Amino acid sequence: MAKKFNVIVNVPALQTNTPFTYIANDAIKNDIKIGSRVIVPFGKSERPIQGFVVGEETTNEFEGLKDIISVLEPEPLLNKELIELSEWLADQTYAFRVSCLNAMLPSLVKVNTKRFIKINETKITMETVLALLGEEQVTDLKVNELSFSQQKQLNQWIKDEFVTLKYVTEDSAKKKMINWLWPTMDLSEYEQEQKKLRKNATKQVELLNIIKTLDVKKGISQASILNDYGVGRSTLNTAVKNGWLVRKAVEQYRDPFEGRQMQLDQNLALNEEQQSAYNLITQAIEDKNAKPILVEGVTGSGKTEVYLQSIQQVIKKGKTALLLVPEISLTPLMVKRVRARFGTQVAVLHSGLSDGEKFDEWRRIVRNEVKVVVGARSAVFAPLRNIGIIIIDEEHSETYKQSDAPRYHARDVAIHRAKKFECPVVLGSATPSLESRSRVERGRYDFVKIQKRANQKALPNIQVIDMRQHLGDGYNENFSAPMVEEIRHRILRKEQVVLMLNRRGFSSFVMCRTCGFVLTCPNCDVSLTMHMDSRTMRCHYCGHEEAIPRLCKNCGSDKIRFFGTGTEKVQQQLAEIIPEARVLRMDVDTTRRKGAHERLLERFGNHEADILLGTQMIAKGLDFPDVTLVGVLNADTALELPDLRASERTFQLLTQVAGRAGRADKTGEVLIQTFNPDHYAIRLAQKQDYEDFFYKEMYLRHLGKYPPYYYTVLVSVSDRDERQALKNAYEMLNIIQPQLSANAIVLGPTAKSISKIKQKYYYQILIKYQREPKLHRALLEVLNKSQEKFRQGTRISIDSEPQNFL
Ligand SMILES: Nc1ncnc2c1ncn2[C@@H]1O[C@H](COP(=O)(O)OP(=O)(O)OP(=O)(O)O)[C@@H](O)[C@H]1O
Ligand SMILES: [Zn+2]
Ligand SMILES: [Zn+2]
């Protein structure tokens, strides 16, 4: 008996939350599991498209159902738990189910449908068809590229059945296959073979001698025989023909750590505070308690050591662990530390990997070959089974919130998954988000503090330099006299310095020096802004995101300049003031190439430089024992932003970067240059008093009716026709408003801060609320409406807990 499955189809134009039912015939029904990717026919044309199996259908109705064409892989990339999670995620983030499923998978996994022309050679010759259309069109038909006369002729041929259109699907997820060779005979048989050879067949003899040394079970890669042993290709082929060796293509994982050495290390003995954090976590593991635990530990308090030992405990129990870090390519040190403890049991997922590497790491996880996954935001969907702990390091980081649909926060997803697995979620930070810290107050999270540094030293002393008074006493606008003096001292003492140029709030863009091309958003008429945290170019208006280019998109030149980082200029100024200082610059310009970030840090660690000069990317995670001075050149660039979290972000950044000083035996010092020395975010960062900051900021949020006192949701509407945009915004308001109580605050519809972008007008509605039980359904209705509006050209998006309201 054939089976039936419910499939969510991947048609971008048809954003749906409802699955369609398909039949799985006897040949494939046993290969299909919940989570499998399948190819199914869709629509009138029965175009083959990709879909995700989300459930089995058990009714007896087969009428009118179509067959599943094929299954894409024997072991599904998603499992039942993740399929269920996608349903929850769609509901929580007001996104369509298929966007959630796509967001969960590594980017490589996409299926493209191609059309080609099949020629009926009894009626028409291949030459005639090729003459009209050309080979490219015949193998990959793109009707929109044909002239009208070509289209007309083609349509006639189709009618006359001279040709037919066929579909092929191409899965972009490819395994890497390599040739492998195994010996087939035993030693005496090889001796026999050798005797049969002619005297001058020296190459064959040599090869036989190599074969005799091979491990029968393990075999050897063809590449190794050719390159390491210098065997000729034809000699090898003859050997295979003679039956001396058997050759097979085997799958090989692409290893993101290829060629890098790994030194295993050992547990450190925990100090008293670390021990109590560890005890709280391991107790929760024992009790299967999924209540999140906030670990508020000052910089350098040894939180990482606590994570590692907790993970070890989980592995001992035969379970797996998930460790999220802000954007892992920025914290290679963290990956190194995890791998030093757990070796090859670790898989890594982040945007710095190639698509192929990501795909392979993903499959290692699917096949239960790893125990620990370290990754950035989207790694929260890693298909680990039997999870025993989820840790979110630097839990306050804004990179955990995705700005495109599905607009999820990794913390919320982690908490949801942890409930399923009955395991603890550990949120770690020196400066927790207000959201998390306030949940501690309300008893929703457990809480433990680590107040002392692991080295038992005091936190570094922080001095604030009022730049209004020091303007002109230094050498230029970036360096005050005290800053220069302190840097000189360190260089004399052969200690190291970290200098940060705060770029938050500055817009940085990319220009080609050869042709002057500026990278702009494909949707809007604005230049894309560089984001160091996610290493992408982002459009601030539509949320479009793409990789930072290496070559000019216009002329292909590699002479690309990144404007606005300012670090280059500061580096020149430093060279004039302190010519003897050796400076390493770390910004998007110097870290574009894969692994460059890591190499720079390694060189700094080896004392190949005295000063590490960089943007925010140096604020997190660095742990260098000889850094005794941290200088912040400009603390306040972000304070002026119309962003409700401006103070919180500034406080977090300053505390983080200050924490890079004095982490080992030597005492650390921090200098902060600012034009706003009296601002509370700067004063409290100077005291490194998170708790004080928390209460002060909570008070202000309370006054302004902002998160975490109020929940927020932002509904945005855009259209080419301004009246349509506004009209639709009101229509959405009319769906939402009647469902709200008098306590909710509705702002808008108002035009966005830049209201017209590339012929499109933007309006938004912001809702602030505390308890509105009917709001959720109203927003789901808005989502449903958005599908209908999409066809009419209006775009509607819903962002729950937006990161900013601009
Ligand atoms: N129990 C311990 N005994 C000795 N050294 C320790 C201990 N725990 C941690 N350390 C060392 O202290 C330093 C700081 O630890 P770690 O980087 O884990 O702190 P952290 O809290 O994660 O810091 P941050 O939040 O600033 O990145 C590291 O060099 C680490 O090896
Ligand atoms: Zn845009
Ligand atoms: Zn160019």
**542 belongs to an annotated ligand binding site:** yes
Contact 697, 648 (CB under 8 A): yes
Order of all β-strands in the sheet with 760-769: 745-757, 760-769, 711-719, 795-800
Tokens representing residue 29 in the block: 């029904």
Q: How far is CA 224 from the centre of its chain?
A: 35
Identify whether 48 is preceded by a cis peptide bond (ω within 30 of 0).
Answer: no
Q: What is the pLDDT of residue 652?
A: 92
Coil, strand or helix: which one is 556?
coil
Residue 177 predicted with pLDDT over 80:
no
In order, the DSSP letters of 121-134 are TTTS-HHHHHHHHH
Nearest residue CA, atom 16 of ligand 1?
A: 302
d(CA 490, CA 611): 10
What 8-state DSSP symbol labels residue 520? Answer: B
| Segment 686-711 mean pLDDT | 91
299 Cα nearest atom in ligand 1: 26
Sheet strand arrangement including 536-538: 529-531, 536-538, 545-547
Beta bridge partners of residue 57, listed in sequence order: 4
Ligand having the closest approach to the CA of 391: 1
**Which residue's C-alpha comes closest to atom 29 of ligand 1?**
623
Q: What is the Cα 131 distance to its own chain's centre?
A: 47
Hey, how many other C-beta atoms are within 10 angstroms of the C-beta on 318?
9
Average pLDDT over residues 594-605: 85
Ligand 1: distance of its center to the CA of 664 in Å? 9
Burial class (CB in 10 A: 0-12, 13-18, 19+), 539: buried
Residue 725 and residue 718 in contact, taking contact as beta carbons nearer than 8 Å: yes
Output the CA 505–ligand 2 centroid distance in Å.
Answer: 18
* H helical segments located in 705-774: 722-736
Which distant-in-sequence residues (6+ apart) come within 8 Å of 162 by Cβ?
119, 120, 123, 124
Q: Which of 265, 276, 299, 304 to mutate to test the pocket of ligand 1 (most atoms within 8 A of CB)?
A: 304
Using CA atoms, how far apart are residues 116 and 760, in angstroms rounded to an integer?
37
At 135-171, the pLDDT tens digits run 888 877 776 677 778 878 888 888 888 988 776 656 5
- Give mean pLDDT, residues 215-238: 84
Tell me the ligand closest to 762's alpha carbon: 2
SS3 call for 509: strand
Kindly list the protein residues whose Cβ atom lies closer than 6 A to any atom of ligand 1: 268-271, 274, 297, 299-305, 430, 454-455, 621, 623, 659, 663
CA of 531 to the centre of ligand 2 (A): 14
437, 447 Cβ separation under 8 angstroms? no
CA distance 377 to 273: 29
pLDDT of residue 505: 45
Instruction: Please state, in angstroms and rounded to a whole number, the distance separating the CA atoms of residues 43 and 158.
Output: 20
Choose among 461, 475, 466: nearest CA to 673. Answer: 466
Q: How confident is the model at residue 259 (pLDDT cuts 50, 70, 90)?
A: low
Q: Say whether pLDDT at 447 is over 60.
A: yes
552 annotated as belonging to a binding site for a ligand? yes
How far is the CA of 536 from the CAs of 245, 504, 508, 592, in angstroms? 48, 15, 12, 11
User: What's residue 125's pLDDT?
Assistant: 86
Residues 6 or more apart in contact with residue 15 via CB below 8 angstroms: 96, 98, 99, 787, 790
% of the chain exceeding 70 in pLDDT:
89
Residue type, 219: G
- Domains of the chain with CATH codes: 3-110 (3.40.1440.60), 112-171 (no CATH), 185-243 (no CATH), 272-450 (3.40.50.300), 461-505+565-704 (3.40.50.300), 507-563 (no CATH), 711-800 (3.30.70.600)
CB 376 within 8 A of CB 351: yes
Cα of 531 from ligand 3 centre, angstroms: 21
The answer, yes or no, to whether residue 258 has pLDDT greater than 70, is no
Q: What does the pLDDT look like over 276-301, one tens digit per residue?
A: 999 999 999 999 999 999 999 998 89
Determine whether the annotation assigns residue 423 to a binding site. Answer: no
pLDDT at residue 533 greater than cutoff 60: no
| Residue 512 assigned to a binding site | yes
Ligand 3 centroid from CA 523, angstroms: 20
Q: What is the mean pLDDT of residues 735-753?
A: 89
What residues are neighbours of ligand 2 (ion), with CB under 5 Å?
Answer: 521, 523-524, 539, 541-542, 544
Q: Which of 304, 393, 312, 381 is nearest to 345 (CA)?
A: 312
CB atoms within 10 A of CB 196: 9
Quick one: which atom of ligand 1 is closest to the CA of 304?
Answer: 18
Interstrand relation of 496-500 and 627-632 (parallel, antiparallel or unpaired): parallel
521 labeled part of a ligand binding site:
yes
- 483, pLDDT greater than 90: yes
Provide the mean pLDDT of the chain: 85
Ligand 2 centroid to residue 717 C-alpha, Å:
14
Ligand 1 centroid distance, CA of 279 (Å): 17
- CA distances to 280, 476, 612, 618 from 486, rounded to whole Å, are 42, 16, 15, 19
Q: How many CA atoms lie within 13 A of 545 on its CB side?
A: 12
Integer Cα distance of 495 and 488 in angstroms: 10
Q: Is 100 annotated as a binding residue?
A: no
* pLDDT at 100 (0 to 100): 92
* Better-scored residue on pLDDT, 71 or 491: 491
Mutate to test the pocket of ligand 1, among 266, 267, 305 (most ligand atoms within 8 A of CB): 305
Best residue for ligand 1 mutational test, from 272, 393, 623 (most atoms within 8 Å of Cβ):
623
Q: How confident is the model at residue 12 (pLDDT cuts 50, 70, 90)?
A: low
